[in-house]
Amino acid sequence: MFLVRLVLGNLGKFFLFLVSWEFKVDEVFIVCARFFKFGVVWEVMKCIVGIESTAHTFGVGILSSKDDSGDPDLNGKILANVKDSYTTSEGGMIPMEVRAHHKKTSSGVWSRALGDAGIGEEDIEVVAFSNAPGLAPCLLEGMDFAKRLAKRLDVPLVGVNHCVAHLVIGETVGAKDPVMLYASGANTQVVAFEGGRYRIFGETLDLGVGNFIDSIGRTMGLGFPAGPKIEELASEYDGELLELPYSVKGMDVSFSGIQTKIRNLILTRNSVPSKLGTKVPSSSGKLAFALQENVFAMLVEVAERALAHTGKSELLLGGGVACNTRLVEMCRIMCEERGCKLFVPEKSLLVDNGAMIGYLGLKIWKTGLGTLDYGSVDIAPRERTDEVEVLWE
């Protein structure tokens, strides 16, 4: 496939293609025309692919990888960002079932991404994939897909840390040197770039905030993921705030005590039908509201403390839990009071997605870190954000 760029200017000299009458019509092969002052220039669109598979989402992102001084915005431009996520009506994630989901949906997601980007496989010059951290079976399925693709196309392969990708994609909304409040399923961290590395200034001591919310959702019978349903229940409640444990320990947070308290409250009360289509406790709105107010206040507190400690003036939100409008509102109020800027990527870039993997993969590849030795590439399910060497800055 080709990118057509119009080069505008005064009408002037141009070349027209010549057709040899010695060939039959279906054998004519001269199809190149270039206008110098006014015309059409045909150029190959080179792209990078990002594969995401750390947990419940299999995603494919396609971005332009072409350097162009005439159009700098083209480099790293997101052309497609397609995903399919594992869900349940009740219960949570079983890793091997999630891997089976990724295996089943990967071909369809790949085809849709190519269609959205308007390119062919021949336009791809590098493949990036999330190799850390995450559920090992899910990471393996993504790596297998990425290796097969890279091998078939004979292009370099780049491993990308999922957590760091959440932070770096903040550049697309203008964040330059932020503190990031990273709130996702398995990860809850306050991160900033200091001393040549992404440093963790605070984190959860037990559960990731998203997993905590999903665990409460399972107890309520809401299925997976429970976050959007908890948010809906909380938005419908208009009453007093239920007192819950508040656990901030220095720069770190803990959710296990709050989890136990809410579970006990749920299990000791009768259930009634909910308009969400399942049976949840009659006090579900009150519990959901208290959960959000309490837990999000904890996250905002440690994020503000990190801003004060680092002296930075930008807060970036990342991770699927950052899609919650109440969390965004609380962060915005805090930033306004501190005189800081708040950056929130669009929801498609907050949740797990292939575009952020491709975006960081492009930076890594341009430093010469891609490889054609596919056997040397492996997953690292427990790699921490602060273990990643930042060689692309």
pLDDT at 63: 98
392 domain residue, yes or no: no
Residue 188 — left, alpha, or beta (φ > 0 → left; ψ -120 to 50 → alpha)?
beta
Same domain, 39 and 59: no
Same domain, 324 and 362: no
Same domain, 180 and 326: yes
pLDDT at 47: 98
pLDDT at 24: 35
Same domain, 300 and 193: yes
Same domain, 191 and 302: yes
Note whether 221 and 267 are within 8 A (CB).
no
Same domain, 196 and 58: no
DSSP code of 72? G
Same domain, 98 and 241: no
- Cα separation, 224 vs 94, in Å, equals 11
| SS3 state of residue 311 | coil
Strands 197-203, 188-194: parallel, antiparallel or unpaired by DSSP?
antiparallel
pTM: 0.86
DSSP code per residue over 236-251: H--SPPPP----EETT
108 domain residue, yes or no: yes
Same domain, 143 and 290: no
Q: Residues with Cβ < 8 Å from 255, sequence gap 6 or more?
A: 204, 206, 207, 209, 212, 247, 295
Same domain, 33 and 8: yes
20 domain residue, yes or no: yes
CATH value at residue 282: 3.30.420.40
Q: For the chain, what is the domain count?
A: 3
22 domain residue, yes or no: yes
Tell me, what amino acid is at 91? G
Digit-by-digit pLDDT tens for the chain (393 residues) are: 333 333 333 333 333 233 333 333 333 322 332 233 233 333 567 999 999 999 999 999 999 997 755 565 567 999 999 999 999 988 889 999 999 999 999 999 999 999 999 999 999 999 999 999 999 999 999 999 999 999 999 999 999 999 999 999 999 999 999 999 999 999 999 999 999 999 999 999 999 999 999 999 999 999 899 999 999 999 999 999 999 999 999 999 999 999 999 999 998 875 444 444 444 555 899 999 999 999 999 999 999 999 999 999 999 999 999 999 999 999 999 999 999 999 999 999 999 999 999 999 999 999 999 999 999 999 999 999 999 999 997
Q: Which domain holds residue 180?
A: 173-350
The interaxial angle of helices 256-267 and 284-310, nearest 10 deg, is 170
Same domain, 186 and 263: yes
393 domain residue, yes or no: no
pLDDT at 5: 34
320 domain residue, yes or no: yes
23 domain residue, yes or no: yes
DSSP code of 341? E
Q: Residues with Cβ < 8 Å from 316, sequence gap 6 or more?
A: 167, 170, 175, 178, 179, 180, 181, 343, 344
Note whether 67 and 75 are within 8 A (CB).
yes
Same domain, 249 and 335: yes
Of 139, 151, 130, 30, nearest to 356 by C-alpha is 130
Q: For the sheet containing 124-132, what is the strand order?
A: 78-85, 57-64, 47-52, 124-132, 157-161
pLDDT at 305: 98
DSSP code of 319? S
Same domain, 10 and 148: no
